[in-house]
A = this chain, B = another copy of it.
Amino acid sequence: MSRNTDNSGISRRDLLSGVGAAAALGVAAGAAALPAARVTSWSEETDVLIAGSGAAGVSAAIAARGAGARVLLIESLSRFGGASAMSGGVVYAGGGTALQKKLGFEDSVESMIAFLSLAGARHLPLDKIQLYSEQSAAHFDWLVAQGVPYTEKFTRAKGLPMGNESLYFSGTELAWPARDLAPPAPRGHVPGVAGMNGGRTLMQALLSRAGDLGVDMRAGVAASRLVVESDGRMAGMLVTVDGQQHSIRARRGVVLACGGFIHNREMLRRYAPELYDCSVPWGNAGDQGDGINMGIAVGAEALRMHHGFAIAPVYPPENVLSGIVVNSAGQRFISEESYHGVLGDAIAYHQQGRAWLITDQRSAFPGPQDNFLAVASGNSIGDIAGQLQLPRGALQHNVAYYNRHAANGDDPLFHKSRDYLRPLQGPPYTAWDLSVDQAFFPAHTFGGLHTGVDGRVRNSFGEEIPGLYAAGRTSAGLPAAPYIASGLSVGDCTFFGRSAGRDAAGLKR
């Protein structure tokens, strides 16, 4: 075999992709990882190699550097920050954070555990929920210490604060059934800046901190394949820079923090058809599933691959919550005040992607509305039902039931709060299409590699793959379907990113 090596120290032939090339590489398993023996010399070496510059990767970098390791962080795109920088920057924290206390809110670790384990998906990993909740107050202190700016301001308004308030109810805590399952507390901690700038602000602080600590950060370097020692340990990674392959050795560990796969359409269709059908893939351009696929290639187990958020952002304005949301049978199926991710999940996963918001004069969107199209309007509920071609008499029948009880302050089906509960009365009535392919319906993936609380990746036999870590949306973490609160994803990224970085830095080889 020819050994015309380029500057990566591996032969050109090794760099070909595809089946034929994989065979030529002598890849031992999965045909998609490279045996370390094939790398004759490494382009670079570091202690901890981290792929991805979102909240998970940068938190891992800060932690690994803080533990004394040399850290190289690579980012496939030209700009750092990942999907986290595009997000609201909310971190879900509780159990009595400094900010909760300062603002006079009581919370407990037990309440937070109850909410996270009971209000959403069944059988989520309790070890992660418990550790995250127990260390949540300390984790918030860590974010403050990294320079993330928070204000001592709370808002009761639903939805991401557009002022500079830093604490709010970011999830479905106050909606039934969650409020009966766990004592509600505001746990959305968001950088205290006006507008949709929380994510950018959070990432500026973390990236600045990582730079100050001496993390070596390189943009435009794309992870492509893992390199594996003959004993199964991670040796490093093949990366691509300007179309050239290079090899980077990681003496202590590799952290995959490359995000999810919302922008890999074929992968999305195979794994998460409900998200594939949503109108707006919501993520960073780098959310191509690369980290997940590199992990699977070396035998990692991937979990909850069909999970994600599917979001129906009906509020603000809150007045629309006095309307009702119905399915194709003209039935209500949820409390309308539920958090966007909970409502979106119900529509995308459990109502075959179709639903409508029915409003009367007072509950209509007050101004121009880009997110949801008005697809029916009329002077009676019957008019609306006819235009939507709902089953004969069903909507009228269900509105009559709803109105009769709402007039008494009751919502027997879904216990909507009295703040929003009143009969639908007063034309014109309007139906707004909340269907996943018609509405503004952002979707993002939550499935990823199976990790422990230390970020170590596990294979299908429950064993750890030595030296391999994953964090953020490359891992299967706390966020699941339904997504019960804003801040769980970035919270999971920062918290378990730190765990992975610490563990990777301390790994003795």
Q: What is the interface of chain A, defined by CB distance below 8 A to chain B?
A: 17-19, 22-33, 35, 121-123, 228, 230-233, 266, 269-271, 273-274, 276-277, 292-294, 296-303, 305-306, 329-333, 349-350, 391-394, 397, 401, 405, 410, 412-414, 450, 459-466
On chain B, the residues within 8 Å of A230 by CB distance are 26, 28, 35
On chain B, the residues within 8 Å of A18 by CB distance are 463
Q: Which 10 A-B pairs have the closest CB atoms?
A: A30-B299, A28-B28, A391-B412, A296-B460, A29-B29, A293-B460, A123-B273, A31-B232, A29-B298, A392-B412
On chain B, the residues within 8 Å of A392 by CB distance are 405, 410, 412
Contact A401 B412 (CB under 8 A): no
User: What is the CA–CA distance of A462 and B31 in the complex, to the nearest angstrom?
Assistant: 10
On chain B, the residues within 8 Å of A25 by CB distance are 232
Contact A29 B297 (CB under 8 A): yes
Contact of A299 among B123, B299, B305, B401 (CB under 8 A): B299
Contact B29 A461 (CB under 8 A): no
Contact A31 B299 (CB under 8 A): yes
Identify the closest chain B residue to A27 (Cβ): B232
Contact of A30 among B26, B401, B459 (CB under 8 A): B459
Q: Main SS of the interface on chain A?
A: loop
User: What is the CA–CA distance of A302 and B297 in the complex, to the nearest angstrom?
Assistant: 11
Identify the closest chain B residue to A450 (Cβ): B270
Contact B269 A123 (CB under 8 A): yes
Contact B28 A232 (CB under 8 A): yes
Contact B302 A30 (CB under 8 A): no
On chain B, the residues within 8 Å of A24 by CB distance are 231
On chain B, the residues within 8 Å of A231 by CB distance are 23-24, 26-27
Contact of A306 among B23, B306, B412 (CB under 8 A): B306
Contact B412 A23 (CB under 8 A): no
Contact of A23 among B31, B232, B276, B294 (CB under 8 A): B232
Contact of A296 among B273, B301, B466 (CB under 8 A): B301
Q: Can you pick out 22 interface pairs between chain A and chain B where the beta carbons lie within 8 Å of each other?
A: A28-B228, A28-B230, A29-B297, A30-B30, A30-B298, A30-B299, A30-B459, A30-B465, A31-B461, A31-B466, A32-B299, A32-B461, A122-B273, A123-B273, A296-B301, A296-B459, A296-B460, A297-B299, A329-B332, A331-B331, A350-B350, A391-B412
